[in-house]
Amino acid sequence: MTSVISNTSERRLVFTGGRAHPELTEAVAESLGIEPLPTTGYTFANGELYVRFGESVRGADAFVLQSHAAPINEAIMEQLIMVDALKRASAKSITVIMPCYGYARQDKKHKGREPISARLMADLFKQAGADRIMSIDLHTAQIQGFFDGPVDHLWAMPLLAQYVRTRVAPDNLTIVSPDAGRVRLADQWSDHLGAPLAIIHKRRDPSVPNQVKVHELVGQVEGRTCVLVDDMIDTGGTIIQAANALFENGAKDVIVAATHGLLSGPAVERLRDSRISEVIITDTLPIPEDRKFEKLTTLSVAPLIARAVREVFDDGSVTSLFNGNV
């Protein structure tokens, strides 16, 4: 394999990735049929980062992937530095691929004197030299408007739903939204699988981060296998309380499906020790060995990202990627 793709117009595609998730970078490059651009990156003793590319990128369409994984600020800064290096090396265009958009949950002001960090993220990458952003399952759709340029918002739902279809008979399946904010996502799952929808109403305690209280369940779940769907699993508190509410209302089984597996703090212990039978996520973020457990299933988004890269590079249509990747 070579490190570039050329099309009939003599354009060049170069693909590279940061150090946060090298396995995903390699998997996407393999799907593209190329080698990642040779890249040197390391951290100085004082914590500063250094990046240098080993081949010319002059006139190339560059795609730079970085998972915004812990330590998240270091991962983001490294990707910003990579974008700056590509710009200064005269890349023709730069597409930033952030499978999981860092700071996406800070997309609006809940109280006075708060930042809108998701907007700041977009501004930083624009200032660094990014022409386009590509991400999977943004926390809210409005983030697409924060960046002054094209934003390719890809969906992992078809990938996750296809796997769920192999696990559960559709006539005994109920899709469940763990809160009001995920109803639209759950509704798309419901349409895709032809399954009924249930909604859990909850209220957060604003004085205690990551703490929720379940109030009521709307929908029929008794005797059924329920699939709890969300965009991410952080500490697992929301998912566990939602699953408990489903079992209390007579659910036969609960499966969890989410795109981004942050699995912070007590998440692994909570999920492992719960009555949930399976937790399905994708590899938008790396899962360290000590964060893996028997119930966890991880699906690869590398083919999805590779397809989007090819569509962008070939000036093809990415509408199908917005509309459920069908």
What does the pLDDT look like over 154-192, one tens digit per residue? 999 999 999 999 999 889 999 999 988 899 999 999 999
Give 46's DSSP letter.
Answer: T
Asked if 125 and 217 sit in the same domain, the reply is: no
Going by pLDDT thresholds of 50, 70 and 90, the confidence category of residue 316 is confident
Report the pLDDT value the prediction gives residue 319, as an integer from 0 to 100: 66
Does a cis peptide bond (omega within 30 degrees of 0) precede residue 71?
A: yes
User: Is the same domain home to 8 and 151?
Assistant: yes
- Does one domain contain both 123 and 223? no
Given a cut of 50, whether residue 264 has pLDDT beyond it is yes
φ, ψ of residue 146 to 5 degrees: the values are -75, -25
User: Cα(77)–Cα(54) distance, rounded to whole angstroms?
Assistant: 20
- What is the spatial distance between Cα 313 and Cα 13, in angstroms, rounded to a whole number? 7
99 and 20 belong to one structural domain: yes
Indicate the range of 18-22, 146-150, 169-173, 263-267 predicted with least confidence: 169-173
* CATH number of domain containing 129: 3.40.50.2020
Q: What value does the mean pLDDT take over residues 266-270?
A: 98
Q: Are 81 and 20 in contact (CB under 8 A)?
A: no
Q: Is 12 helix (H, G, I), strand (E, B) or coil?
A: strand
> Cα 119 from chain centroid?
17
Query: In the chain, where do the E strands start and end?
Result: 4-6, 12-17, 39-43, 49-53, 61-65, 93-98, 132-136, 151-154, 173-177, 197-204, 212-218, 225-233, 253-261, 278-282, 296-299
Q: How far apart are CA 241 and CA 227, in angstroms?
A: 14
Range(s) of the domain holding residue 254: 157-299
In this structure, are residues 11 and 313 in contact, taking their beta carbons and an 8 Å threshold?
yes
What the block records as the tokens of 18 is 């940061």
Question: pLDDT value at position 6?
Answer: 60
Tokens of 269: 């212990």
Query: 317 falls in which pLDDT band (50, 70, 90)?
Result: confident
Q: How much is the pLDDT for 326? A: 42
Choosing from 202, 213, 252, 295, the catalytic residue is: 202
Identify the band that residue 199 occupies on the pLDDT scale cut at 50, 70 and 90: very high
Per-residue pLDDT reduced to its tens digit, 226-246:
999 999 999 999 999 999 999
Stretch 103-129: mean pLDDT: 97
pLDDT at 206 > cutoff 70: no
Token digits for 186?
């759950």
Q: How many domains does the chain have?
A: 2
Looking at per-residue pLDDT, the higher value among 202 and 236 belongs to 236
Query: Worst-scoring range by mean pLDDT, 2-16, 130-144, 243-257?
Result: 2-16
d(C-alpha 284, C-alpha 261), whole Å: 8
Encoded amino acid at 255, one letter = I
Q: Are residues 106 and 162 in the same domain?
A: no
270 plus 173 within the same structural domain: yes
Cα–chain center distance at 225 = 25
- For residue 314, the Cα-to-chain-centroid distance in whole angstroms is 24
User: Does 202 participate in catalysis according to the annotation?
Assistant: yes
123 and 228 housed in the same domain: no
Given this model, what pLDDT does residue 201 score? Answer: 85
Residues 55 and 111 in one domain: yes
Residues 281-306 have a mean pLDDT of 98
CA distance 115 to 56: 38
Q: What is the pLDDT of residues 35-92, one digit of tens each?
A: 999 999 999 999 999 999 999 999 999 999 999 999 999 999 999 999 999 999 999 9
Cα distances (angstroms) measured from residue 29 to each of 3, 77, 86, 212? 9, 22, 18, 40
- Same domain assignment for residues 136 and 178: no
Asked if residue 10 and residue 119 are part of one domain, the reply reads: yes
10 lies in the same domain as 129: yes
Does residue 254 share a domain with residue 172? yes
- pLDDT confidence of residue 59: 98
The reported pLDDT for the residue numbered 93 is 98
